[in-house]
Amino acid sequence: MKRGKKVWLAAALLTGAIPASAGIITFTCSSAFNSAFDPGGSTTAVCSYLNTTIAGEYGNTFTNANANIYIDVTNSGLANSTSGFYNLVSYSTYQTKLEAESTDGARTTVPASEPGIFGSLGVEITSALAEALGITRTIGNGFVDGTTASGSACTTYATSGSGCYNGIIRLNDPTDLYNQTSGQGYTYRGLGGSTNSSTSNYDFFGVVEHEMNEILGTSSCISTSGSLTNPGNCVAAADLFRYTSGGVRTFNTLNATAYFSPDGGYTDYQGNLYDNTANGNDWADFLNSCTFVQDGFGCPNGATFDILSDGTGGTAGPEVAILNAVGYNVTAPEPGTMGMFGLALAGLVVYKRRRR
């Protein structure tokens, strides 16, 4: 994310809808982070909120979203994140595991044979997604890698406290952000306080959610820095759900209308639109403005952006649907399911469902 100055029938719908388990998300905050982000003078409040409210939100939304995330500071932009290293698996490995483990109907749009638009590229999955799907080996029989806080490869990312993480999130120091943007800052939801007295503030936890979603698996293999490139020579799991129209995928075409779709391109979930220019943003960020957590530019208007309420009418947004599609199972009926159930009951014949 680059953030700148604007910085089949009723019975079938119910099956498998409510898994019994929940995921576990753990945040480890650096001492530099704790001292920089201290609303109300507390150097522990933000990290505590991350490990209770935000971790609980994701853990209760997905049954298999388990991640250890390191939180640190940076001195430019708004925030950035990394999952560390490319973890490439064969298309057949990913497709087979998705088919076996996923409870989301979107898996049926990922065919047994790799779509021609991707050639024969391997699928890049984050270490968190690998864990969710039970994938332990990459192409060449290597281990799935996480990252240490200093950027070295490691494999104990599934063990909290091991010093190995599924990813790192770095947020711009409040003082630097203020100076670099002529007065913008952060607000901290229920913690109160902000880093300036104006309304030109970003929702701090919405920024964290954006980067966290990428560590879990919403990002693309395509880089947009200067021109479109594919440095990992891969297709990311989320790229498999990028469409330009019904039944027509798009991958790395500039200026093509593109959106996430869970049903083969026939609906653009929640009206999302993917980035489609070489502008330095993430290729899988949204072009939408001040709408979704995954929007490519932050929204410094003091509003709250959360994956469970950034959708239509305050419902769960496209981020939940994307994570659901790539392999994270939801703990309740997936977005749109209850609406479809209502249609099924009303008509007993017609049923339908419907992404950033």
Q: Where are the alpha helices (DSSP H) in the chain?
A: 10-14, 31-36, 45-49, 55-61, 91-101, 127-133, 174-180, 204-213, 318-326, 337-347
Q: Which two tokens stand for residue 121?
A: 């590229």
d(Cα 322, Cα 101) in Å, to the nearest integer? Answer: 16
Q: Which two tokens stand for residue 143?
A: 């281990």
Closest CA to 72 of 168, 196, 205: 168
Span 241-298, pLDDT tens digits: 999 999 999 999 999 999 999 999 999 999 999 999 999 889 999 999 999 999 999 9
Span 134-162, pLDDT tens digits: 999 999 999 999 999 999 999 999 999 99
d(Cα 174, Cα 107) in Å, to the nearest integer? Answer: 41
- Domain residue ranges in the chain: 10-347
- Report helix, strand or coil for 326: helix
Span 52-103, pLDDT tens digits: 999 999 999 999 999 999 999 999 999 999 999 999 999 999 999 999 999 9
Other C-beta atoms closer than 10 Å to the C-beta of 44 total 10
Q: CA 112, 326, 93: angle at the middle one, nearest 5? A: 40
Longest dimension (CA), the chain: 60
Span 290-322, pLDDT tens digits: 999 999 999 998 899 999 999 999 999 999 999
In three-state form (DSSP H/G/I as H, E/B as E, the rest C), the secondary structure along 226-282 is CCCECCCCEEEHHHHHEEEECCEECCCCCCCCCEECCCCCCCCHHHCCECCCCCCCC
